[in-house]
């Protein structure tokens, strides 16, 4: 293989990875265009090295080569990078799709590096189309994350408001802690609100703030 064809494969990998990264960045995700671009180009480079980098050793009798061994490490190694995009906050997990996108981008880079242009390009198109379709579907059933800071004495009243609400509310979690400055037990209430109607969200905020023990409420 000529050096120019290798460069062409790197460029194609970078473009395909950049497309997925651009889609992720357009939705304000943790890993964007630059990260996906680098992952795709790096994966393609590793594949090229694995496949063509040891051609001078083929005719050495004491050496046996397995071209897939180096490239295979990309699949497991990219997991460490993907783990860095996953955020767990109060039982809410974010970044899984972006982590999966990085993993898939690495696979696309490997495919292009191996000369499998049609599968690599097809996978890119399929991922982009899938992300857009499911993102629109998600918006139709999207939820907002709510947080309320209050004294421990107001927890039951706040829970009653959420329970009696006509809007679907789930993933309710209460965390208590002792505030040394206030010398009292305080609580953080986390929950999900399944609605797009701003007036309904505002009503929940107002109802919670009516409780004397509630200090602040945020739903976004």
Domain boundaries, the chain: 3-140, 144-219
Q: How confident is the model over 103-113, as a mean pLDDT? A: 91
Give mean pLDDT, residues 33-55: 87
Nearest residue to 17 (alpha-carbon basis) of 31, 38, 37, 47: 37
- If residue 174 lies in a helix (H) or strand (E), which one and from where to where? strand 168-179
pLDDT recorded at residue 165: 86
Tokens 């295979």, residue located: 72
Rg (CA), the chain: 25
User: What pLDDT shows up at residue 143?
Assistant: 74
Q: Which two tokens stand for residue 148?
A: 């309320």
Residue 97 — pLDDT band, cuts 50, 70, 90?
confident
pLDDT tier, 10 (very low <50, low <70, confident <90, very high otherwise):
very high
State yes or no: pLDDT of 112 exceeds 80.
Answer: yes
Give burial (CB, 10 Å; 0-12/13-18/19+) of 31. buried
For residues 17 and 41, the answer to whether their CB atoms sit within 8 Å is yes
Has residue 200 got a pLDDT over 90?
no
**Average pLDDT along the chain:** 83
Window from 88-92, 113-117, 158-162, 204-208 with minimum mean pLDDT: 88-92
**What backbone torsions phi and psi does residue 175 show, to the nearest 5 degrees?**
-125, 125
Helix, strand, coil in percent for the chain, rounding step 5: 60, 20, 20
**Does the structure show a pLDDT above 60 at 17?**
yes
Which of 59-63, 136-140, 203-207: highest mean pLDDT? 203-207
Q: How far apart are CA 116 and CA 108, in angstroms?
A: 9
Window from 80-89, 125-134, 202-211 with minimum mean pLDDT: 80-89
CATH class of 144-219: alpha beta
Q: pLDDT value at position 51?
A: 83
47-71 confidence digits (pLDDT tens): 998 888 877 676 677 767 776 777 7
C-alpha–C-alpha distance, residues 137 and 97, integer Å: 15
3-state secondary structure of 197: coil
Q: Rounded distance, CA 6 to CA 113, Å?
A: 8
Q: Is the pLDDT of residue 125 over 60?
A: yes
CA–CA separation, 100 and 153 (whole Å): 42
**Tally of CB atoms within 10 A around 172:** 15
**What was the pLDDT predicted at 119?**
93
Contact indicator for 121, 190 with CB cutoff of 8 Å: no
What is the mean pLDDT of the segment spanning 121-129?
Answer: 92
Q: What value, to the nearest 5°, has the Cα angle with vertex 192 and ends 188 and 197?
A: 125
Question: In this predicted model, which residue has the larger pLDDT, 108 or 86?
Answer: 108
Position 164 scores a pLDDT of 87
Check whether 204 has a pLDDT greater than 80.
yes
């Amino acid at each position: 293989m000529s050096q120019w064809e290798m460069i062409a494969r790197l460029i194609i990998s970078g473009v395909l990875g950049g497309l997925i990264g651009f889609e992720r960045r357009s939705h304000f995700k943790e890993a964007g265009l630059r990260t996906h671009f680098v992952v795709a180009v790096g994966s393609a480079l590793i594949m090229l090295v694995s496949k063509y980098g040891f051609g001078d050793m083929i005719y050495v009798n004491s050496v046996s080569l397995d071209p897939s061994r180096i490239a295979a490490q990309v699949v497991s190694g990219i997991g460490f990078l993907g783990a860095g995009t996953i955020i767990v906050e109060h039982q809410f997990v974010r970044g899984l799709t972006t982590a999966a996108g990085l993993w898939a981008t690495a696979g696309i880079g490997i495919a292009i590096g191996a000369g499998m242009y049609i599968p690599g390009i097809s996978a890119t198109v399929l991922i982009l189309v899938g992300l857009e379709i499911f993102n629109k579907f998600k918006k139709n059933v999207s939820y907002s994350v709510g947080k309320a800071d209050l004294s421990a004495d107001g927890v039951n009243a706040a829970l009653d408001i959420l329970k009696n609400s006509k809007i679907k509310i789930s993933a309710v979690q209460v965390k208590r802690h002792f505030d040394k400055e206030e010398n009292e037990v305080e609580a953080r209430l986390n929950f999900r609100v399944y609605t797009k109607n701003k007036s309904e969200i505002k009503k929940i905020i107002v109802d919670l703030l009516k409780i004397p023990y509630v200090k602040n409420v945020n739903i976004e």
